[in-house]
Amino acid sequence: MTVSLLTQAQHGNIRALSQLITAIESHDKDSLNLHSAVYDARKGAPILGITGPPGAGKSSLTDRLIHRYRKQGERVGIVAIDPSSHFTGGAILGDRIRMMSHASDPGVFIRSLGTRGSHGGLSRATQDIVACLDAAGFDRIIVETVGVGQTELDIARIADTTLIVLVPEAGDVVQTMKAGLFEVADLFVINKSDRGGGENLSTALQGQMALDEKAWQVPVLLASALKDEGIEGILEQIEAHRAFARDNHDYHTMREMLRRELFFDLLSDEIASRMRQKIAHDKHLSQLLEHYVHEGRNPYGLLAKLLESIVP
Amino acid sequence: MTVSLLTQAQHGNIRALSQLITAIESHDKDSLNLHSAVYDARKGAPILGITGPPGAGKSSLTDRLIHRYRKQGERVGIVAIDPSSHFTGGAILGDRIRMMSHASDPGVFIRSLGTRGSHGGLSRATQDIVACLDAAGFDRIIVETVGVGQTELDIARIADTTLIVLVPEAGDVVQTMKAGLFEVADLFVINKSDRGGGENLSTALQGQMALDEKAWQVPVLLASALKDEGIEGILEQIEAHRAFARDNHDYHTMREMLRRELFFDLLSDEIASRMRQKIAHDKHLSQLLEHYVHEGRNPYGLLAKLLESIVP
């Protein structure tokens, strides 16, 4: 029945797509088949990551990009993530975008994601939703996240191209920015640059990046989502990065490394969830776990017992 | 042989302690026994977490606290973490503290930790080092981390008491601070408050925290590590929090929840590492993994095959 949701979603049924994502998120006992079917059905749409500190205007910028893609006749699927929110399913970030103008456009699908209900972490939940959107045939997928922390970095790594949005006054944000953020950035956009000061930040960013020897010269673009300025330049650079990525050996090596990591994350996750069930159904193991949880300093006794029960 | 390192470390042999930590970090095939021995030998020293943005003066403050504890005749073990660094073992943060004054003091042990060489993530590596220091009989353990991101939050959760260090000008840091940071904070210290402006930030922080209904009223203290001002107040509040935590039901419930999470993280980790070995030694599985890594969009086929080989 759930696999038929996939078929319906592939035929453009938005309601079925919502239900498919919910089914994928539920991680039922037999959802692995559904996961496999969804991942098999992926078409390989480009995934654009948009991240940056709160207040940088990510939603407005996302909105502008969606408009351009829609004009080109492309369907756009968006995952809007707020790691500080516990809410999953409908509102927050997604609402901000949705309310702008795409509420009645069937070519735009938005799914919001908070930390609650994200079995196996935000990163995995995001990947699963992206896979659903990709399988459903969206031409572009955008993953928007708030923040500049580790979770956001992990999520940026899901994207083929990662765009970091800043404001002209973000000099100190750049100072405290993690080195990792520079590593994942494929494109910097200084939004709200009609305020002035964008050139200074641009110089600072370029200076910082000159330290890295990257094959891809990360562009720093000035824009104003509100005034609809600089959007075409962003679209061009997104495509330029895609063209670069297609042929670059290092890029592919990095992708392969990430895929390898993803696989082992997935595996650990799946096994841990089975182990939880195993413990829940085994009185002796449950008692050992409770003993450790209540007073124990040493988790390794229980660990050894559980590992014994697994084929080495 | 490695267990004898533990015995020697317990007798105050600093060189043996260093080697013990290295052995624990190596995660050899049979290191589970060593882990178990170390965790069994833990004495339950209080663990103080110190975190905050770069430049807040965490190292100087840590240095002042070490001085006070040493005056009381207590031995202090420090884990200095820099998640943005790839270096593990000696330098960075730890050096900053060490160089100050404790280089020749055998009652102070400092271990630095970057992201490299931290098998199973920084959080687990930190816990393991803390366990070694605790087993070796240090009276106080301090975990110092840079930053205000997710990794730092995870690490703050290892501590019994978490102290967040800010500077008076940190208003915007507080704005972009994750809600989670307020959740883990047991104590705010506004360092460098001789500059002025500390009162304003203090009011802002207290206003923010008034939104939470916490049983523990998080103190906001003004201090200047450089001028050695406000240090006694910090020490008092650390003890006050310990006394609170000892008797508070919610605190214990939270600790138990964290311990449960820790256990399953540990389990996933351990199983994933065994699975890696299993795949490496199985030609068919290796081929499946490589196929997925190089071209596959669907990791679930391989996942299903591996799970079959594990007792359900």
Model ipTM value:
0.72
Q: What pLDDT score does B21 carry?
A: 92
Chain A residues near residue B52 by CB distance under 8 angstroms: none
Do the Cβ atoms of A306 and B267 come within 8 Å? Answer: yes
Report pLDDT for A176: 61
**Contacts for A58 with CB less than 8 Å, ≥ 6 apart:** A50, A51, A52, A144, A146, A165
Q: Do A301 and B35 touch (CB under 8 A)?
A: no
Binary contact (B267, A263; C-beta < 8 A): no
- On chain B, the residues whose CB falls within 8 A of the CB of A165 are none
Residue A8 has a pLDDT of: 94
A271 interfaces chain B, CB cutoff of 8 Å: yes
Amino acid B116: pLDDT: 53
pLDDT of residue B297: 72
CB contact under 8 Å between A176 and B289, yes or no, is no
Please report the pLDDT score of residue A130 as a whole number. Answer: 95
| Interchain proximity B268–A263, CB inside 8 Å | no
B310 neighbourhood in chain A, CB within 8 Å: 271, 274, 310-311
- What pLDDT sits at residue A148? 53
CB contact at 8 A, A192 and A167: yes
Distance between CA atoms of residues A214 and A225, nearest Å: 28
The answer to whether the Cα torsion of B86, B90, B92, B94 is positive or negative is: positive
The CA distance from A160 to A238, in Å, is 10
Put simply, the answer to whether B303 touches A264 (Cβ < 8 Å) is no
> What local confidence, expressed as pLDDT, does residue A133 receive?
97
Residue A110 amino acid letter: I
Rounded distance between C-alpha atoms, residue A65 and residue A60, angstroms: 9
Q: Does A302 touch chain B if contact means CB atoms closer than 8 Å?
A: yes
Q: Is A178 on the interface with B (CB under 8 A)?
A: yes
Q: Which residue has the higher pLDDT, A270 or A147?
A: A270
Burial A16-28 (b: 16+ CB within 10 A, else e): bbbebbbbbbebe
Report, as an integer, the average pLDDT of A143-164. 79
> Which is it for the CA torsion A82, A85, A89, A92, positive or negative?
negative
> Looking at the complex, does the CB of residue A99 fall below 8 Å from at least one CB of chain B?
no
How do residues A246-265 score in pLDDT, each as one tens digit?
A: 889 888 888 888 888 888 87
Residues in chain B: 312
Contact status of B67 with chain A (Cβ, < 8 Å): no
pLDDT at site B90: 45
Residue B175 corresponds to which tokens in the numbers above?
């704005």
Is the Cα dihedral B212, B213, B215, B217 positive or negative? positive
Instruction: Identify the top-confidence range among A22-31, A73-82, B114-123.
Output: A73-82
User: pLDDT tens, position by position, for chain B (312 residues)?
Assistant: 567 899 999 999 999 999 999 888 877 666 788 888 999 999 999 999 998 877 888 889 999 999 999 999 999 999 988 766 554 444 455 556 555 667 678 899 998 887 654 455 777 888 899 999 999 999 999 999 876 566 667 777 789 999 999 989 877 666 666 666 777 889 999 999 998 888 888 888 888 777 777 788 899 999 999 999 999 999 999 999 999 998 899 888 888 888 888 888 888 778 777 888 888 888 888 888 888 888 777 888 888 887 776 644
pTM of the prediction? 0.69
From the list A35, A263, A307, which residue is nearest B292 (CB)?
A263
Which residue from B83, B84, B267 is facing A303, i.e. has the nearest CB? B267
Name the more confident of A62 and A85.
Answer: A62
Of A295 and A285, the one with more pLDDT: A285
Q: Which residue has the higher pLDDT, B206 or A141?
A: A141
Residue contact A274–B150, C-beta within 8 A: no
Residue of A nearest to B274 (CA): A312
Cβ of A36 within 8 Å of Cβ of B260? The answer is no
The confidence score (pLDDT) of residue B224 equals 95
3-state secondary structure chain B: CHHHHHHHHHCCCHHHHHHHHHHHHHCCCCHHHHHHHHHHCCCCCCEEEEEECCCCCHHHHHHHHHHHHHHCCCCEEEEEECCCCCCCECCHHHHHHHHHHHCCCCCEEEEEECCCCCCCHHHHHHHHHHHHHHHCCCCEEEEEECECCHHHHHHHCCCCEEEEEECCCCHHHHHHCCHHHHHHCCEEEECCHHHCCHHHHHHHHHHHHCCCCCCCCCCEEECECCCCECHHHHHHHHHHHHHHHHHCHHHHHHHHHHHHHHHHHHHHHHHHHHHHHHHHCCHHHHHHHHHHHHCCCCCHHHHHHHHHCCCC
Q: In the prediction, which pLDDT does A231 show? A: 97
| pLDDT beyond 80 at A104 | no
Residue A16 has pLDDT above 90, yes or no: yes
CB distance A289 to A279 below 8 Å = yes
| More confident: A88 or A256 | A256
Is there a contact between A275 and B292 if contact means CB atoms under 8 Å apart? no
Structure confidence at residue A90 as a pLDDT band (50, 70, 90):
very low
Residue of A nearest to B85 (CA): A179
Q: Does A275 touch chain B (CB under 8 A)?
A: yes
CA nearest to A146 within chain B: B176
Q: Which residue has the tokens 């009162």?
A: B199
Q: Which residues pair with A112 in a beta bridge?
A: A80, A89
Average pLDDT of chain A is 83
Q: Which residues in chain B (116-135) have CB-CB distances under 8 A to chain A? A: 131
Q: How far apart are CA B186 and CA B163, in angstroms?
A: 6
Distances (CA, A) of B25 to B21, B89, B121, B189: 6, 10, 11, 32
Q: Say whether domain A43-246 belongs to CATH 3.10.290.10.
A: no
Rounded to the nearest 10 degrees, what angle do helices A14-26 and A2-10 cross at? 140
Mean pLDDT of the A216-223 span: 93
Domain ranges of chain B: 1-41, 43-246, 258-308
More confident residue, B50 or A27: B50
